[in-house]
Amino acid sequence: MTDLLTVSRILKEQDNIDILTHHYPDGDTLGSAYALCGILQNMGKNARVITSGTVAGKYEFLSEGVKKQEFEREFVVSVDVAAPTLLGENQQEYENIIDLCIDHHGTNSIEAKVKYVEETSAAASEIIYELAKVMDAEITVPIANGIYTGVSTDTGCFRYTNTTHRSHLIAAEMMASGADWQDINTAMFEMKTRAKLELERMVYRTLEYFFDGRVAVIHTTLEMQEKAGIGDDEVEGLASIPRRIEGVLLGITMREKENGVFKISVRSNKGANAAEFCQIFGGGGHAAAAGCTVEGSLEEVKAKLIEAAEKLI
Ligand SMILES: [Mn+2]
C-alpha cells in the first residue's frame, strides 16, 4: 500500500478527474466525494462526482458546494467503494479503469492502479481530511460539510464502536471551519419523511427472533415499499432497528431490491462479527456493520441466513 504523500502527489499531477461513489450513496461516500471534488476544483482542476442509483434528497446540499463541470475524463478515483459490484450502474464502464481507490473497508476488492485503504478510519471522509492536510488544501465550508457529514454518518453520530478520538478531533476541526453541524445532524438523524415512517411501521411488524433472541431479523419488500409510497433512495437506516434490541448479537435486515434478490444488512453488538457473517455470502464490511446480497424468495433467503447465523452464534 502507498502513503498519503504519494496519493497527494499523484492527484496534484492529474486533471479531468471523475470521482466515483458507491451504489445508493450514503453520507460518507458522498461527503468524501464532494469534499475531494471541492479540494481538486479549488486547485484549478476539473473534477466531478459520479454517483450510482438515486441520491436521497437529504444529501443534495453536498453537491451544491461544487461547480458542475464538463470534460473528457483522464483520471478516475473511487471513494468508500469496497467492491466492484458496489459501483452499481457504473461498474461496467469504470471497474477496469480506476486509477486511485480511497477506502476504509478492510475487505476492499477494487482493482486500481493505486490503492489507499485505511481500515482504522471510521469513515472514508477521515482519509479525505488527512489528504486535504497533506495537499495543503484550504478547508472551505462546503468541504467541511462534506467531511463532517461523512464522519458523523459513518459513526452513527459518534456512537458506533468505530468512533475514535480522531473522529471527534476531525469533527471539531470541521465545526471550527464552519460546518453546519447542527443542520447536518438534524437532517441525517432526526428528520424522516412520512413515507419513511409508514414503511418503518410495516417493517416493525416483520420482526422475528431466533436463538433465544440473540438474532433478530426484519425485512422490507418491494410491495411494502410501494404501499408506503417510498422511493428506493429513501429506504435506508432500517438496519439499525434489530441491533437496538436488548440481548441481540446479530441484527439482520433483509431488503428486497428486485424480485428474488435481497440486499442483506447486518449489524452486530459485542460478541458477534457482522463481516464474518456476510463473507459467508460473498459480501463484506466491518465487524459491527456489513452487507451482502442473497438470491431467492423471502422465505428461502431467510432460511439461508438463519442457518448461517446458527453456526456463528
Ligand atoms: Mn464509509
- Are the C-beta atoms of 275 and 184 separated by less than 8 Å? no
Q: What is the predicted pLDDT for the residue at 1? A: 67
Q: 154 alpha carbon to ligand 1 midpoint, in Å?
A: 6
Long-range contacts of 92-99 (CB under 8 A, 24+ apart): 94/18, 94/20, 94/50, 98/20, 99/10, 99/14, 99/75
Please check the confidence at residue 284 and state whether its pLDDT lies above 90: no
The residues placing their C-beta within 5 Å of ligand 1, an ion, are 28, 80, 124, 154
The stretch 95-116 carries a mean pLDDT of: 96
The correct CATH number of 4-189 out of 3.40.640.10, 3.40.50.150, 3.20.20.10, 3.90.1640.10 is 3.90.1640.10
Please check the confidence at residue 125 and state whether its pLDDT lies above 70: yes
Q: What is the pTM of this model?
A: 0.84
Q: What is the predicted pLDDT for the residue at 233? A: 75
Q: What is the predicted pLDDT for the residue at 229? A: 95
Alpha helices in the chain (DSSP H): 4-13, 27-42, 60-63, 91-94, 124-135, 141-154, 165-176, 181-185, 194-204, 222-228, 240-243, 274-279, 298-312
Q: What is the predicted pLDDT for the residue at 234? A: 81
What's the chain's average pLDDT? 96
Res. 22 pLDDT band, cuts 50 70 90: very high
Domain coordinates of the chain in residue numbers?
4-189, 194-312
pLDDT single digits (tens) 169-228 = 999 999 999 999 999 999 999 998 899 999 999 999 999 999 999 999 999 999 999 999
261 strand-pairing partners:
258, 295
Q: 299 alpha carbon to ligand 1 midpoint, in Å?
A: 30
Q: 56 alpha carbon to ligand 1 midpoint, in Å?
A: 16
Q: Per CATH, which fold does 194-312 belong to?
A: Diaminopimelate Epimerase; Chain A, domain 1 (3.10.310)
Please check the confidence at residue 25 and state whether its pLDDT lies above 70: yes
